[in-house]
Amino acid sequence: MFEEGATLKKRYGEENVFDLSLGNPVMEPPVEFRQELKRLTEHPLPGMHRYMGNAGYPETRAAVATQLSLETGIKFTMKDIIMTCGAAGALNVVLKTILNRGDEVIIFAPYFVEYRYYIDNHDGVASVLPTDEQFIPKLGVLEAAIGAKTKAVIINSPNNPTGTVYSEDFIHRLGELLRKKETQYGTHIFLISDEAYRKIIYDGLKYSSVWHHHPQSIIVTSHSKDLALPGERIGYIAVHPDCSQREELVDGLIFCNRTLGYVNAPALMQHVVQHLQQVTVSVTEYQKKRDFLYDHLIKMGYSAVKPQGTFYMFPSSPLEDDVAFVRELQRWKVLTVPGCGFGTPGYFRISYCVDDRTLEGSLVGFKKAAQKFNLG
Which value, in Å, is the radius of gyration of the alpha carbons in the chain? 21
Smallest distance, ligand PLP to C-beta of residue 334, A: 20
The dihedrals phi and psi of 213, each to the nearest 5 degrees, come to: -120, -10
Q: According to the binding rule CB under 6 A, does residue 361 interact with ligand PLP?
A: no
Identify which range of 85-93, 136-144, 318-326, 362-370 contacts ligand PLP by CB under 6 A: 85-93
Identify which range of 54-62, 81-89, 145-153, 185-193 contacts ligand PLP by CB under 6 A: 81-89
SS3 (DSSP) at 313 = strand
Q: According to the binding rule CB under 6 A, does residue 160 interact with ligand PLP?
A: yes
SS3 (DSSP) at 197 = coil
Which positions ≥6 away from 304 have C-beta within 8 Å? 294, 297, 298, 313, 314, 315, 316
Q: According to the binding rule CB under 6 A, does residue 158 interact with ligand PLP?
A: no
CA gap 255, 46 in Å, rounded: 26
Interface residue with ligand PLP, options 83, 87, 142, 227 (CB under 6 A): 87
Interface residue with ligand PLP, options 86, 110, 215, 361 (CB under 6 A): 86
Identify which range of 6-14, 82-90, 178-186, 344-352 contacts ligand PLP by CB under 6 A: 82-90
Please identify, using beta-carbon distances, which residue of 61 and 367 lies nearer to ligand PLP: 61
Site string for ligand PLP, 128-157 (x = CB under 6 A): ----------------------------x-
Q: How many CB atoms lie within 10 A of CB 161?
A: 28
Residue 312: closest CA among 350, 348, 282, 343: 350
Please identify, using beta-carbon distances, which residue of 276 and 369 lies nearer to ligand PLP: 276
Inter-CA distances, 371 with 233, 298, 302, 368, Å:
42, 13, 11, 5
Largest CA distance in the chain: 65
CA gap 28, 75 in Å, rounded: 33
Please list every residue from 185 through 244 that binds ligand PLP, using CB under 6 A: 194, 196, 222, 224, 230, 235
Please identify, using beta-carbon distances, which residue of 86 and 339 lies nearer to ligand PLP: 86
CA gap 123, 162 in Å, rounded: 28
Q: According to the binding rule CB under 6 A, does residue 97 interact with ligand PLP?
A: no
Please identify, using beta-carbon distances, which residue of 174 and 369 lies nearer to ligand PLP: 174
Residue ranges in contact with ligand PLP by CB under 6 A = 23, 86-88, 112, 156, 160, 194, 196, 222, 224, 230, 235
